[in-house]
Amino acid sequence: MLNAGIIFSFVALFAWGFGDFFIQKTVRQIGIWKSLFFIGVLGSAGLFVFIRKELLTVVSQPSNIYLLILLSVVSVIFVLFYLSALKQGKIAVVDPITGLELPLTVGLSVVLAGEHLSLFQAILVVLTFFGIIFAVAKEKKHLNIRRLVIEKGAILAGIGAVGMALTNFLTGVSSQQTSPLLTIWFTHIFFVIVTSVYLIFSGGFKNIIQDIKKNSNIIFFQSVLDNIGWIAFAFAMTYISISVATTISESFIVLSVLLGVFISKEKLKRHQFFGIILVIVSILALSMIS
């Protein structure tokens, strides 16, 4: 029988994979800030009833408050770096670079949290990483690191990858020290505050009701699926190591590629097909031995 942490990791994989599809559609319709605002509102409002009793406990422990604030600040800053990279550069360039998020998260978990991977687990993590890179690279030239570095958006994507690795790691640590639901609620409240301030000063709230009426379905699905993904990811790291949970969950990128094939009728190159097979085999093997 599969470990609960493995099951949660796969839930995150599928939720993020499908959620990413709806997030892209929502961002195109209403913009980045409103998209993040709706995700934050649903997460913070929906989870409050489950975490309200925990708030007093957290307030009485300053170290946990500092950890949650650090996680929230890092999350907001580096999500904006990543989205800025997408705006400035091509997805085909940005995605392979942000794939560095996986080995960086594993590195942080091993060095700072003292996690240990067996040789076979480490090999599977490496294979998953390379599989993701191959799967998202639409052209072979995008596998050339030297070429990628000089492309527009590459530096921002690299900074975003470092930040998202920190976010993954801090989410795991916070979930273990407080609780998964409290961790996700706190970060989403922070997202709501930051995006609200921006939307107020930019006049973005003027058409918010109209945006909801026109795009209610995609707003709902992106918000629900993204929240399910983060909640499942946070729970996974309370059962299994941050390294293993991240390796399985971050493979949602491959699911996004497959959705592009089946829904948008995109064509896979041979190296992409190889990458997808490599990821599927690697995470299935990892789930069986972890």
- pLDDT tens digits for range 101-127: 889 999 999 999 999 999 999 999 999
Range of the domain at 69: 4-289
Q: Which residue has the tokens 């993954």?
A: 168
> Is the alpha carbon torsion for 282, 228, 239, 62 positive or negative?
positive
Higher pLDDT, 265 or 170: 170
Q: How confident is the model at residue 253 (pLDDT cuts 50, 70, 90)?
A: confident
Please provide the DSSP assignment of 97-142 as one string: HHTTHHHHHHHHHHHHS-----HHHHHHHHHHHHHHHHHH-SSGGG
Other Cβ atoms within 10 Å of 77 Cβ, number = 15
Is residue 227 pLDDT above 90, yes or no? yes
User: What's the number of domains the chain is made of?
Assistant: 1
> pLDDT tens across 2-41, in order?
799 999 999 999 999 898 888 878 888 998 899 999 999 9
Q: What is the pLDDT of residue 151?
A: 53
Burial class of residue 29, CB neighbours in 10 A (0-12, 13-18, 19+): middle
The string of pLDDT tens digits covering residues 46-60 is 999 999 888 877 767
User: Which residues are CB-neighbours of 140 under 8 A, at least 6 positions away?
Assistant: 269, 271
Q: Report pTM.
A: 0.90
For residue 201 the two structure tokens come to: 């000063």
How far apart are alpha carbons 26 and 72 in whole angstroms? 23
